[in-house]
Amino acid sequence: MFAAAALWNRSEVLREDTQTIQRTTAILHEHARKVFDTVELVIGRVDDRTRDLSWEEIASPATSAFLRDLKSPLEQAVSIWITDASGRVRAGSQAWDPAVSLADRDFFAAQRERDAGLFISEPFQGRATRTSSFAASRRRSAADGRFGGTIHVSLSPDYFSRFFDEASPNGPDFAALIRQDGEILARSPVRAANARVAPDSPLMRAIKDRPDGGLVSGVSQVDRRDRVFAYRKVGPYPLYVSFAIDRDVILSRWRSNILAYGIVALLSALTLCGVSWLALRRAQAEQIAVLAMRRESEQRLAAEQRLFQSQKMESLGQLTGGVAHDFNNLLAVVIGNLDLLRKRVTEDERGRRLLENAIQGAQRGAVLTQRLLAYSRTQELAPKVVDVPALVAGMMDLLQRSLGPGVRIKTAFPPELPPVIADPNQLELVLLNLAVNARDAMPDGGTVTLSAHPDEAPGVGKGDLRPGAYIRITVQDTGLGMDPETLARAIEPFFTTKGVGKGTGLGLSMVHGFAVQSGGATRITSSLGSGTSVDVWLPRSSTPALPEAVETREERSHRARTILLVDDDPLVMASTSAMLEDIGHTVLEAASGRAALALLGASPSVDLVIADYAMPGMTGLKLAERLRTDRPELPFLLASGHAELPEQADILVARITKPFRQDELANAIDDVLRRAGASARRDSRPPPPGARRAEARHESQGAQPVDPRNDRAT
């Protein structure tokens, strides 16, 4: 019995540790796959940005600034570089010596000889970063197909080593990131120099026989230790991750168990009853330990899945936010020019119809851009105290028209429901999106129920909800429901189950982004045949909602103004300038903040400055700060499509969101000039302490004053 128990326990220990090795290897593989997928996205983004640029344009500071911004959130990246066909660096994410050539690097030579795809280099010491690195490079081709240089991202072996340490179970082990030729790029424990795995080693022989992955045991030729290895190929890349545990460590637990079994066997010789009692206690203890270990393992796997999902959604958010910001500038040009053209097409009826169709298409593009910004949580919001039942009652006619006669709408709001803090316009759009989705899920008709209830997130909160008081708004339908695979991807941008041309896949993405940016969260529950329920948590307000004041606009002043327009995009500059001149203003143009300061020095009669926020060198906020010191009386209007502004000190500026129409621009200018006139009259008498900030908090919504220390409209 002792021998049988020892053999059985040995096989169990080996099986459990083998599963641990394979599970840990899978974790390392998923991490490495996501890292190199991200690197490919980064290189593709750089290639798209620079493909049609000349080398003089690539060598401009703007390109290096773009690379720095691209590299900044990537912990795994040391630097990003663009080299020409001779190996000379033309742009980089940090400063470099222009005399240094990278023509001798293996990643450059490989791409020069042929298009090697994504080439992973051997480890090296960075000449500009002075940091141990290895590179992932892609070839740049000229228009005629000849070699035109490389784009490469230098990666940190220490980043991988730290992740190996965090992901590895307790105890002596070995983890490594290995090239297909056996070159060790990163390892844990870290050594002074990474070695190369010999081709005749057990690991490399196993990789040759089973290239996708497997399990092998043998003596490591790196440190001569007997280990059990698991390895997996990292996606389509010429890389492998490997994780191993010393065989002595595995068998030490078995030896401890043998000692316990020996004691049990000795006691069994004394008395059968004693042995039976001890065996029963031992079996119970082992069962409890196995269950505890299984629960811990399941919790760890669930946490890892949540982490992977969070990283994926964050990457998608950054990508969609950047694309939406660029489209805002394009749509500003299109909408502005179409708005001006509408005034000039009066007699041609067919031309007017075509023009109106173009304007509607551009406005639909603006709506899509707002949804992308909402998903990436960079959309500008104007939060207020909102009475949810009153808001729903006010949009019931719109909901009924949108859903049609085949859908019944029910509401269920408790009396004395506290208000929420949210942007009322965006909240209406969220409820309309959810209702339309519910309608599409009920092709034969059904019922949509809108309800709201107070909810709490005590302690550490519910999931990604912070602790606090919330209102849970629910939109529930009796439709077809979703299977688990569809439910898991429901909030991903551009994912839709509708046919071509029937949906963009941004509705639920926008709902999720709005809820998170408002300080809440979103939950979706659904199953096939049982309908879908979407819960949106929004922060509860401690003050009651006030009725909306009816705002009246004073009759616009027709006196022509001299306006300084500052924008680095020539198309946006031309479109905005045309709108201002059409209103009747005189426009001075500057392509940068420094050019604007020079023009102001030469033309002191400027009445207003309108500046873009995102400009190289001097941003719109920096220009406003400079003018606040030099010419505090000069009104300033900031144009931007982003809600996130960096922290600045003691600046309050009016703001207009891109893209805008001519009437919106005219109204914003009137608001700024009227406030500037009121401020000048107030400044003629001694102001009480804190008066300026009190006034800024009560400005109208035409051009929203923004405190740069807060990324929301005040």
Q: Using the predicted structure, report yes or no on whether residue 252 has a pLDDT greater than 80.
A: no
pLDDT category, 551, cuts 50, 70, 90? Answer: very low
Running DSSP on this structure, what letter comes out for residue 577?
H
pLDDT at 323: 65
Cis peptide before 659 (omega within 30 of 0): yes
How confident is the model at residue 662, as a pLDDT?
A: 83
- The SS3 of residue 303 is helix
Average pLDDT of the residues in 278-296: 89
Give the confidence band of 550 by pLDDT, cuts at 50, 70, 90: very low
Q: Are the beta carbons of 109 and 103 closer than 8 angstroms?
A: yes
Bigger pLDDT: 714 vs 326: 326
Percent of the chain beyond pLDDT 70? 79
Omega cis (within 30) before 616: no
Please check the confidence at residue 459 and state whether its pLDDT lies above 50: no
pLDDT of res. 495: 62
- Orientation of helix 662-683 relative to helix 570-583, angle to 10°: 70
* pLDDT tens, position by position, 577-607: 888 888 889 999 999 989 989 888 887 788 8
Dihedral (C-alpha) 21, 23, 24, 28: value to the nearest 10 degrees?
130
Which H or E run includes 138?
Answer: strand 132-141
Q: Are residues 234 and 33 in contact, defined by beta-carbon separation less than 8 angstroms?
A: yes
Q: Is residue 441 within 8 Å of residue 480, measured between CB atoms?
A: yes
d(CA 706, CA 166): 42
The average pLDDT across 347-366 equals: 72
The two structure tokens encoding residue 278:
């001890």
Give the model confidence (pLDDT) of 376-422 as tens digits: 545 556 688 899 999 898 888 878 887 888 899 999 999 889 999 98
Alpha helices of 51-114 — where are they, by DSSP H?
55-58, 61-71, 106-113
DSSP 214-232: EEEEEE-TTT--EEEEEEE
CA distance 406 to 626: 60
Task: Tell me which of 339 and 129 has the higher pLDDT.
Answer: 129
Mean pLDDT of 162-179: 83
Strands (E) located in 540-666: 562-566, 586-590, 608-612, 636-640, 654-657
**In which band, very low, low, confident or very high, does the pLDDT at 650 lie, cut at 50, 70 and 90?**
very low
Q: Residue 283 belongs to what H/E stretch?
A: helix 272-344
pLDDT digits (tens, 9 = 90+) for 622-647: 888 888 888 888 899 988 765 455 54
What distances in angstroms separate CA 508 from CA 110, 147, 489, 493, one per listed residue? Answer: 45, 44, 10, 8
Tell me which amino acid residue 376 is.
S
The Cα angle at residue 318 between residues 316 and 322, in degrees rounded to 5: 115
pLDDT of 702 over the 50 cut: no
d(CA 46, CA 66): 9
Average pLDDT, the chain: 80
- Write out pLDDT tens, residues 468-481: 889 999 999 998 88
**At residue 697, does pLDDT exceed 60?**
no
CB atoms within 10 A of CB 453: 14
* Cβ atoms of 71 and 80 closer than 8 Å: yes
pLDDT surpasses 80 at 91: yes
Cβ pair 494, 508 in contact under 8 A: no
**Contact 172/245 with Cβ under 8 angstroms?**
yes
Q: What is the DSSP letter of 604?
A: T
Distance CA 374, CA 356 (A): 27
The amino acid occupying position 346 is T
Greater model confidence, 149 or 371: 149
Sign of CA dihedral 114, 119, 124, 130: positive
Report the b/e string of 564-587 with b at 16+ CB within 10 A: bbbbbbeebbbbbbbbbeebebeb
